[in-house]
Amino acid sequence: MAKFREREKAIALRKERQMSYSQIKKILKVSKSTLSLWLRNYPLPEEKIKELQKKGWERSEAAIERFRNQ
């Protein structure tokens, strides 16, 4: 049941706040592979990726999000 709540929280963070995998991972303390499964239908918009890059986001994080969008 706890995993269900974490999944719902991850989806809400992605949809409502457009957070990256790395950001969500820090909050929920779940693996990237788990987030990949949970968020496969919720890609981060390209505009948000570009915005985060301008704020000093690491290239590896941007690559993760771009890969997920393919």
Tell me the per-residue pLDDT of 17-47, one tens digit each, with 9 for 90 and over: 999 888 899 999 999 899 999 999 999 888 8
Position 21 scores a pLDDT of 87
The tokens of 4 are what? Answer: 């269900």
**What is the pTM assigned to this prediction?**
0.74
Contact status, residue 25 vs residue 32, Cβ threshold 8 Å: yes
User: What is the number of structural domains in the chain?
Assistant: 1
Per the structure, the complete domain to which residue 9 belongs is given by 2-69
